[in-house]
Structure 1
Amino acid sequence: MEANKELDDILRLLDSRRLSEAMELLGTFGCKYPELNLTGPLDDIRSDYERMSGYWSMGYRDPQLDSIYDELLRRVYRLTADVYLRYAIAHSSYMSGICRRIDVAGRDWSEGVLRGMLETFVTDVAMLGLEPEHVRAARKTGLYSDHQQMMNDLFDYIWTSPQWSDGMADAFQQILLSPTVDANDQSLIVSALMLGTMNMFDINKFRILVNVYRRSGDENVRQRALVGWTMSIGQGRDVLFAEQRQLVDGLLADAQVCAELTELQIQLMYCIMAESDNSRIQKEIMPELLKHNNMNITPGGIEEKADDPMQDILDPEASERNMEKMEESFRKMMDMQKAGSDIYFGGFSQMKRFPFFDSISNWFVPFYFDHPAISSMYNDKGTGQFLQNIIKGGLFCDSDKYSFAIAFRQVVDRIPQNIREMIANGSGMMVMNEISAEAQQTPAYIRRIYLQNLYRFFRLFPMRDRFCNPFDRNGGGDRPAGYLFFANPMFRGTRLESRFGEIGSFMVKRKMYAEAAGLLDNYSEEAHDYQYYMLAGAVLSSRDRAVVRSRMSGLTAEECFRHAVELHPDEPRAILGHARSLFSEGRYSEACDDYAALLRIQPDNMSFMLNYSVCLTNMERYDEALKMLYRLSYEYPDNSNVNRVKARALTGSGKYGQARKIYERLYESGNVENEDIINNGYCEWFAGNNQTAAELFVRYLKKCYPQSGLGSYREYAEKDIIVPEQEFLKGHGVTQTDIQLMVDLICATVLR
């Protein structure tokens, strides 16, 4: 929307400390939208600015001038932020509906009253134990129902609230640190603070999140606060609010904080991979499970259904193979989960359309059996134990636990009686990787479950576009994506920078090159060490399009690896990276020197020997290459890569008959690659078998471009077969006339 762009422009001016221009634009915006009522507050700020400017223009030098100017910047920011919120509410039926509902509820959200309501709830729950049995159930249901509705309202009130005062922030901080307030309520409030601060940075809300992370005695609340301030920092205004950097620097002085931030960054990477992990499960694992669907999953493990009596006669080992494949498929999925993958996202993503998820707070509320939406299931003797067993296993995030319970309630009446009895006594449980109670209390596990809740909200909530999405891989303009908080400039040059390499290595191993490039951009110049150059070289070697747009484009992979070699001259990984980068640039002589150096360090390394031979072959030093290739083919007679390099070297040295025999063996083995077909064609061409060469070239072209027309085949023949090897062809007596005749012959062969 145009108005949003105008307000964004004002915020950018404030980030650049251009106060006068920001006030002018904000005044123009206020005239355009008088219903937002910003003229009066803006006039007050402008009056203070003119007073300050007037004294300065007369030559008075106020020692507090900078601090006064900074405070005026912050006042304009707060006013702009509040106007931004009012405009969004006025122009969004969804947000205006939420605000109307909060107003209609007519609740008193003053700090004292709110704290009283929260503490009274804890007291009332404790007093339920004194109620008679016949009164307790109804009283408990009403108590939790009223409280959950109040918390829904409070959640919406917080995330739609304007900039907070210091006093309001202090009061909420006390509530969040109080041992007399329920931890579930504190967790929900922290999530609301995060949503609000992500949408529009508020230094007071940010300060609460940092202090709760630092001081809370409840690990669930503490970890939510950690996620909250890290997700909010991407939209921060540290130029305007020096306190933000001070708060963060204070945290980073603690090595344990840096360790938790590193774990959190890796966990966020796993969240981003949820879609690809789900695709892998659907394409690789589930088909294998379905293929062997003659299995039952029981408490004792994977067992077979009744066998076909003829199976043992026709294929006596089939049942054992099926069981092994079934178990292997389950093992793959469980290994993915252990590593950190969100394996349940795909399955539960279709179960977020229940009315339960219409309320934003229900995406964030910690799972508890007394939630009004599922409490009847928990109290049902037939299904309550089953649900407890599932939830106790710790397999699902809170959001998925609610989905499972609600979905199960809808189908339980249609389950046959005998199956329901099995469920009631727990014998119908699936065999899964349960997580111990101790492991479920660790900070890493708590954080992981919460992040999965967040990912589901930002990927599946119908009105998610109303929120700043930290999982948007495109980021926000010149700011890094929220999930990649290590790339935020606020962490450059800090103690956390020593952990950048660990995160970068994680990304490169998983081919997340765009993210790795963003992280590498955030290194300070002083931190350009060996690991930095190795990572940068790997990223720049990836040819990822997103990397090309990175600020790293000023470097090349070869330069990065060269710097790494200079720092560690005898490190094989650095030399190998440099050799590969040179090879990719066609600098075979220099690459050859690198491989020779590697062979001096590891003289029997097969990979180094083979690549050294490739360089020699490309330099047309065929005799030297063949000496090493004969040794390799003796030691590794069945290695296809050795054989194909040897065939190319034999072709180059004019030993076409020997090369032809190798290509024949490659075809027979089924290990033939596209490059083998082309190189076989060159061999026949040089040997004078032009028609055979043309047929091989056509075979290659039809394999690579099956839908192409005749004109395209001519173009592809020149592009793939002729142009890349012009020097090679010329060195073997192929003239321009030969080339044109061969292209014509290729086209004629296509038509046959």
Structure 2
Amino acid sequence: MIEKCINEHKIYDAYDMLGKEIALLGNWDLEQELENAKNTYRYMLEYMINGTVDPQSKSLYLKLVQQAFSMCDSASRGSRIKKNTGDKYCATLNSLPDGTNLQNIFTALETYGEASKRNVNPDSQKVKERKDDHERTLLQMFNHIWTSPQWSNSDKECANAMLMSENIDDNDNAILVSTATLSLFEYLDIRKLEFLFDAYEAGCTIASQRALVGIIMIIIRYDGRLKNYPEISARMALISDDNKSFKENAYTILTQLQLSKDTDKVNAKMRNEIIPEIMKSGKFRQTGFGFEEIDEALTKNDENPDWSKSGSKLNEKLAEMTELQMEGADVYMGTFSQLKSYPFFNDIAHWFYPFDIKHPALGDFEKNHSSKIMPMIKAILNAGPFSNSDKYSFCFMLSSIGGIEQSMMTNKMAEGMLDEEAGSIFKNAETVQPKAKDFSRQYIYDLYRFFNLYLYRTQFSNPFNDLDGAYTPLKATLLGSLMEDRRQVMEYAEFLMKKKYYTEASKLFESLSPALVEDDAELWQKLAFCYQKSNNPQALEAYINADSLKPDSTWTISHEAHAARMFGNFKLAAECYNRLLENDSDNIKYLKRKSECLIADENYEEALPVLYKINYLDESSTVAKRMIAWCLLMTNKLDKAISTYKDICTEGASANDWMNLGHCLLASGKMKEAVNAYTSGMKATINDKGNAEDFDKGMEADAEILSRFNIGKEELRMILDAIRFSCEN
């Protein structure tokens, strides 16, 4: 409520509510800060009322708004800590040793880094103790920053010094960036956000990409508030102009965030469609982390040629799974979600640790597994599409397997290494250097897993739920600079279109100003398609524009026809189908659609020859016959209509067929026969639906049509009663 008042610039009301909340905390410093802000605001208002011109008034007002937001967050955090309901945030804060600060943590990490550079036996007890101390320091750093109040300038400077230190490992700085981001998800802290910008520009690749993921997610979460911080807007503009890879990195991250947002859909597809089809083939068996192909020699024995159809379906599903993996979809979330119960994941920090096979929690992992299997394991860990937390899960799972099962797995994996081609792939995988997009993808996977799988996840506000619909630069003002790169906007719009986010894709296509681009029919086609898929009437005009630029496109004409039908322009739709029929005169689909449009436009006479042609081309179809009969009724050719409907009814009629026959007979003055036909229709409805309600509604809906034959509503109501008596008998 306070934040809402500040956003609406109701500063007096915001100060009033803040005062009441701060009074409950008994925080004298915060009380004094609020009182000083109120006095400053009073003086500012007095100057305004007295007509005093102050060139600094706008910037001063902006600072007061920023300060109000800051006090609101401080009061909210203070209230949370005072209530201490036992949530993870308060428990973590209370567990920190007295006197914990960033400078001490910085010193400890630097000391460890310096000591690690000395040539000592890595297996010595002293080194192991030092690693344990380092692990405790990292956990302390993570917990301290996550639960910290708003940073001072000295806090930010210390964090930047850690980032630039030659003695602090890249992985440690990646954790530093992650905990600053997690803290920002709790409360907006401009200095922490500025630190993320610093990390993106100056940090190592893993820290830089994590920082940019955080920047984008925080900008989306706090879009409304960040409009009040021109320094952040300026920083975004500067990076966008100066950093050549910024926009490419940002669009990669937006794509990965969108793919993660669709993880539940992907896993449902894997579980319900792709995996069952693969398993049905009998050519694969499922293992813990994928599929293992059964010996090819066995699959060649007595193959049945009739299997080719199922084989093509299998290939289609395998190709679909491969495509999902290639585009970065999180296809292993379902598998690894079952492996997050290890004690390692009780610490929040561990969900964000870059994978390190030498981490103390894994013990002597390399020594505990045979030299035959380790190259394979390392290759999987380096080249596999897994998140960091998944890699830890994988290692914990392997360590938990013992005896015969471990031996069988070792032998099977070792056999795979004997294959020369596979061996080459795994050998290269060990030396693969991750790219920027690999770091951001793995980090987003880690974030998604934490917010959806962590034991106490309900205590966190899931940032993947911050948006309805798709991630796009248009969802946050500060991402506006991403719209300057036409190629990237086009590619991302096409990606969203492929993922069926048609409304968001259409807005991106719109931003490319198709009206100002000469001869770009394809852009108009894509815009029209997205409009049509999102039921936007602008689709028709967009198709017409595409058609004018590329008039011979069958795709455009057929979609223009469909859009015209959708939005009630049946005359234009019929014209489009005429154009399509010029090159394919016997196309039944086009003929049917044309006749439907003519009937919808009440052009029954013109529809009849089209329908007779359909009937000639496809004599078995009763659809054309029904439409012919209806057109005959509407053109008052009652004898032919009756004859046609009677033919239909002898072949197996629906309730609607009997009703329409009744209309024809009634219009011809054959009341008794009409009632008999209506009675058959009502009985058919009762048999199908259990009651006559739908039949009554159908008759009432056709009242206007019957009025053309001088049959009024009273007479129609009496006929319905007569039908009911007939049904009783």
TM-score, normalized by the shorter chain, greater than 0.5: yes
Asked if the contact 1:159–1:193 (Cα under 8 Å) also holds between the matched residues in 2, the reply is: yes
User: What's the counterpart of residue 251 of structure 2?
Assistant: 262
Q: Deviations over 1:313-370 (max 9, x none)?
A: xx95578877766555444322322233221112222222222221111111111101
Unaligned runs of 5+ in 1: 1-8, 544-555, 668-675
- CA–CA separation in structure 1 for the residues paired with 2:75 and 2:706: 71
Q: Deviations over 1:117-167 (max 9, x none)?
A: 33333333333xx324xx625444433332222212211211222222233
Larger mean CA deviation between 456-465 and 360-369 belongs to: 456-465
User: 2:60 pairs with 56, 68, 73, which one?
Assistant: 68
Give the AA of the match of 1:288.
Answer: E
User: 2:91 pairs with 77, 93, 97, which one?
Assistant: 97
Asked if the contact 1:363–1:457 (Cα under 8 Å) also holds between the matched residues in 2, the reply is: yes
User: What's the counterpart of residue 277 of structure 1?
Assistant: 266
1:392 aligns to 2:395 (yes or no): no
Distance 1:515 1:729, change over 3 A: farther
Give the AA of the match of 2:451.
Answer: F
Q: Deviations over 1:360-394 (max 9, x none)?
A: 11111111101222243333133644532431332
User: What's the counterpart of residue 111 of structure 2?
Assistant: 120
- CA–CA separation in structure 2 for the residues paired with 1:627 and 1:375: 83
Asked if the contact 1:648–1:679 (Cα under 8 Å) also holds between the matched residues in 2, the reply is: no
- CA–CA separation in structure 2 for the residues paired with 1:158 and 1:229: 17
TM-superposed deviation, 1:616? 0.9
User: What's the counterpart of residue 592 of structure 1?
Assistant: 574
Q: Deviations over 1:416-466 (max 9, x none)?
A: 64444434665699x999996798723333322222211111112232333
Q: How does 1:119-518 map to 2 (within 5 A)?
A: 119-127=110-118, 130-132=119-121, 136=123, 138-216=125-203, 218-234=204-220, 235-236=222-223, 237-253=225-241, 256-293=245-282, 295=284, 302-303=293-294, 329-382=317-370, 384-413=374-403, 415=405, 417-423=407-413, 441-472=434-465, 475=467, 483=471, 486-491=474-479, 495-496=483-484, 498=486, 502-512=491-501
SS of equivalent residue, structure 1 residue 448: helix
Unaligned runs of 5+ in 2: 633-639, 666-672
Asked if the contact 1:533–1:561 (Cα under 8 Å) also holds between the matched residues in 2, the reply is: no
TM-score, normalized by length of structure 1?
0.77
TM-superposed deviation, 1:271? 1.3
Give the AA of the match of 1:617.
Answer: I
- CA–CA separation in structure 2 for the residues paired with 1:623 and 1:436: 71
Distance 1:182 1:590, change over 3 A: same
TM-superposed deviation, 1:186? 1.4
Give the AA of the match of 1:116.
Answer: T
User: What's the counterpart of residue 615 of structure 1?
Assistant: 597
Q: How does 1:533-552 map to 2 (within 5 A)?
A: none
- CA–CA separation in structure 2 for the residues paired with 1:624 and 1:78: 72
1:11 aligns to 2:3 (yes or no): yes
Give the AA of the match of 1:176.
Answer: L
Distance 1:627 1:57, change over 3 A: closer
SS of equivalent residue, structure 1 residue 376: coil
TM-score, normalized by length of structure 2?
0.79
Asked if the contact 1:15–1:240 (Cα under 8 Å) also holds between the matched residues in 2, the reply is: no
Asked if the contact 1:455–1:471 (Cα under 8 Å) also holds between the matched residues in 2, the reply is: yes
Give the AA of the match of 1:372.
Answer: P
- CA–CA separation in structure 2 for the residues paired with 1:437 and 1:633: 67
Distance 1:558 1:328, change over 3 A: closer
Larger mean CA deviation between 392-401 and 55-64 belongs to: 55-64
Asked if the contact 1:579–1:591 (Cα under 8 Å) also holds between the matched residues in 2, the reply is: yes
SS of equivalent residue, structure 1 residue 441: coil
Give the AA of the match of 1:156.
Answer: N
Distance 1:588 1:43, change over 3 A: same
User: What's the counterpart of residue 40 of structure 1?
Assistant: 32
- CA–CA separation in structure 2 for the residues paired with 1:319 and 1:609: 37
Give the AA of the match of 1:302.
Answer: E
Distance 1:53 1:646, change over 3 A: same
Q: How does 1:689-704 map to 2 (within 5 A)?
A: none
Give the AA of the match of 2:212.
Answer: L
- CA–CA separation in structure 1 for the residues paired with 2:279 and 2:725: 47
TM-superposed deviation, 1:16? 3.5
Distance 1:611 1:482, change over 3 A: closer
User: What's the counterpart of residue 6 of structure 1?
Assistant: none
Asked if the contact 2:62–2:228 (Cα under 8 Å) also holds between the matched residues in 1, the reply is: yes
Asked if the contact 1:385–1:426 (Cα under 8 Å) also holds between the matched residues in 2, the reply is: no
- CA–CA separation in structure 2 for the residues paired with 1:260 and 1:702: 63
Q: Deviations over 1:654-692 (max 9, x none)?
A: 467778889999x9xxxxxxxx95765566556769778
- CA–CA separation in structure 1 for the residues paired with 2:710 and 2:295: 68
1:27 aligns to 2:14 (yes or no): no
User: What's the counterpart of residue 717 of structure 1?
Assistant: 695
Distance 1:523 1:162, change over 3 A: farther
Q: Deviations over 1:732-752 (max 9, x none)?
A: 898765687579869998x99
Distance 1:260 1:664, change over 3 A: farther
Give the AA of the match of 1:142.
Answer: E
SS of equivalent residue, structure 2 residue 465: coil
TM-superposed deviation, 1:275? 0.9
SS of equivalent residue, structure 2 residue 294: strand
Asked if the contact 1:680–1:693 (Cα under 8 Å) also holds between the matched residues in 2, the reply is: no
Give the AA of the match of 2:345.
Answer: F
Q: Deviations over 1:188-238 (max 9, x none)?
A: 11111222223222222222222322343x332222111110000021423
TM-superposed deviation, 1:527? 8.9
- CA–CA separation in structure 2 for the residues paired with 1:535 and 1:748: 57
Distance 1:317 1:614, change over 3 A: same
Distance 1:422 1:589, change over 3 A: closer
Distance 1:88 1:297, change over 3 A: closer
Give the AA of the match of 2:393.
Answer: S
Asked if the contact 1:694–1:745 (Cα under 8 Å) also holds between the matched residues in 2, the reply is: yes
Distance 1:369 1:494, change over 3 A: closer
Q: Deviations over 1:679-728 (max 9, x none)?
A: 6556655676977887678778877xxxx6x4xx3333344x44665556
Give the AA of the match of 1:461.
Answer: Y
Distance 1:196 1:439, change over 3 A: same
User: What's the counterpart of residue 668 of structure 2?
Assistant: none
Distance 1:288 1:21, change over 3 A: same
SS of equivalent residue, structure 1 residue 161: coil
Percent of matched pairs sharing the same residue: 22
Distance 1:38 1:403, change over 3 A: same
Asked if the contact 1:647–1:660 (Cα under 8 Å) also holds between the matched residues in 2, the reply is: no
Distance 1:264 1:659, change over 3 A: farther
Give the AA of the match of 1:261.
Answer: A
TM-superposed deviation, 1:99? 0.4
- CA–CA separation in structure 1 for the residues paired with 2:416 and 2:397: 18
Asked if the contact 2:100–2:144 (Cα under 8 Å) also holds between the matched residues in 1, the reply is: no
CA RMSD of aligned residues (A): 4.8
- CA–CA separation in structure 2 for the residues paired with 1:497 and 1:732: 64
- CA–CA separation in structure 1 for the residues paired with 2:141 and 2:564: 61
